[in-house]
Amino acid sequence: MCKVRRFGALLGVFVLGMILGALNSQLLAILGVPLFLIFFMAYEEANYTRKNIRSRRMINE
Amino acid at 53: I
Statement: residue 59 has pLDDT above 70: yes
Per-residue pLDDT at 61 exceeds 70? no
List Cα–Cα distances, 25 to 46, 52, 58, in angstroms: 30, 39, 48
29 pLDDT above the threshold of 80: no
Q: For all residues of the chain together, what is the average pLDDT?
A: 77
Look at residue 55 in the predicted model and tell me its pLDDT: 79
Sorted by sequence, the CB contacts under 8 Å of residue 24 that are 6+ apart come out as none
- For 2-60, the three-class secondary structure string (H helix, E strand, C coil) is HHHHHHHHHHHHHHHHHHHCCCCHHHHHHHHHHHHHHHHHHHHHHHHHHHHHHHHHHHH
